[in-house]
Amino acid sequence: MYRKSSFAKLDDKELVEGLTAIPVNRELHEYFFYVKCQKFLNYISSTLYNRCDSRHLVGELYEFLSKDNWSILRNWENKNGASLYSYIARCSINHFTNKEIAEKKRLGIEFHADAAELIEQLGDFTQEEEHEMPPVWEAFGMLNERDRKILRLLVIEEKSMIEAAPEIWPHIKSKAGIESLTPKQIQSTIAMVKHRALLALVQKLKKINRN
């Protein structure tokens, strides 16, 4: 149980001094990373990784903030009038977002290759017993219902995003109704979920290939 009541009374300067002090105050570190940072970590986890729990990000956040002798915290100094929380949240969101963008760019070639393979094997593969199921189809079958539908409509059936939108939209977590959006907004949203579905397909393929 973290001593939230006592640590919550620390001002920003005291927090920086406490977090960077030697020896390490483990209770203060636990409070800061698991309580103080929880709100923006939940946002990052939900937005970038589609996960409700943010604990999987705590270790990397610690490494990010503590590198170079806590230089990020030490450089805060009330920059532009921002609170320590706002400053750390902005730096952390930028860090995780840039990392995710770099990872997607690194996998970009694999996305195209796997999608092309999926389309090609769709025409070649039959249900005859002597045919072995291609790995890409095995990976496809491991996807959740939403990702299978997205790839079936957009990749296999080659429907346009606008054409497939009515079937895909119920699977998208959006407060906006499809009728209230412009075609450009619809395409942008569906492009994002298609990208995530392809990411999931690549990960399943990697898992199969490792076995």
Question: What does the pLDDT read at residue 2?
Answer: 43
Burial of 101 (C-beta count, 10 Å sphere; 0-12/13-18/19+): exposed
CA–CA separation, 12 vs 19, rounded Å? Answer: 11
> pLDDT truncated to tens, each residue of the chain (211 aa)?
445 568 888 889 999 999 999 998 999 999 999 999 988 888 888 777 777 788 899 999 999 999 999 999 988 875 556 788 888 988 888 888 778 767 766 655 444 445 555 545 544 443 343 444 566 677 778 888 888 888 888 877 778 888 988 888 887 776 567 777 788 888 878 887 887 887 787 777 777 766 6
Domain boundaries, the chain: 4-104, 108-210
Alpha-helical regions (H) of the chain: 4-7, 12-19, 26-31, 38-49, 58-74, 84-106, 108-124, 135-142, 145-151, 161-168, 183-210
Question: What does the pLDDT read at residue 199?
Answer: 79
Contacts of 87 (CB under 8 A, 6+ apart): 76, 79
Q: Between the CA of residue 5 and those of 35, 83, 126, what are the distances in Å?
A: 11, 19, 64
Question: What does the pLDDT read at residue 70?
Answer: 93
For every residue of 62-97, DSSP letters joined together read HHHHHHHHHHHHHT-TTGGG--HHHHHHHHHHHHHH
Question: What does the pLDDT read at residue 78?
Answer: 58
CB atoms within 10 A of CB 128: 6
User: Quick check: 97 and 40 in contact, CB under 8 A?
Assistant: no
CA–CA separation, 187 vs 11, rounded Å? Answer: 45
CA–CA separation, 131 vs 121, rounded Å? Answer: 12
Question: What does the pLDDT read at residue 98?
Answer: 77
Written as six digits, the tokens of 101 are 């963008």
